[in-house]
Amino acid sequence: MLLTSHYHILLSALLCILACSSLQKWQPLDTDLVNVQHHHPDIKIQDLKTGYKLYIEQCSGCHALHHPSEYSITQWDSILPEMFSQAKINNPNEKLFIKQYLYSKTKSQN
């Protein structure tokens, strides 16, 4: 009886989670791509998606994520070198993808 009720609680919780989706304000959109392409014409939407994924994976382990629009490109440029070092992100491509994602949604871009 107890086990059955616990099973139902856990199942309900799992279903709730399956219904959850990423909040749209964080996802790379076509409008973000257009904004960032003014400065970097070669960027593709896939690059922004890769940067978005890396940003969540690499940065959320140490702190709650900041939305890119909280800072300007200049501010991100001063924050990122120290953060890359702390999170041990050494791969130049990974750094570039994360930067491009953040730039695409910064204050000045929006």
Min dist. Cβ of residue 65 to another protein (A) = 4
Please report how many Cα atoms fall inside a 13 Å half-sphere around the Cα of residue 95, on the Cβ side: 16
Which of 97, 33, 109, 23 is closest to 71 using CA atoms?
A: 109
Find the part of the chain contacting another protein (CB under 8 A) among 30-38, 69-77, 83-91, 99-107.
Answer: 83-91
Q: Is 64 in the site for another protein (CB under 8 A)?
A: yes
Close Cβ partners of 6 (under 8 Å, ≥ 6 residues apart): none
Q: Which is nearer to another protein, 86 or 108 (CB)?
A: 86
Instruction: Decide: is 45 part of the binding site for another protein (CB under 8 A).
Output: no
Is the separation of the CB atoms in 19 and 25 below 8 Å? no
Residue 90: both structure tokens together: 């050494």
Minimum distance, C-beta of residue 42 to another protein, in the bound complex (Å): 26
Q: Give the footprint of another protein on this chain (CB under 8 A).
A: 1-3, 6, 9-10, 13-14, 16-17, 20-23, 26, 56-65, 86-89
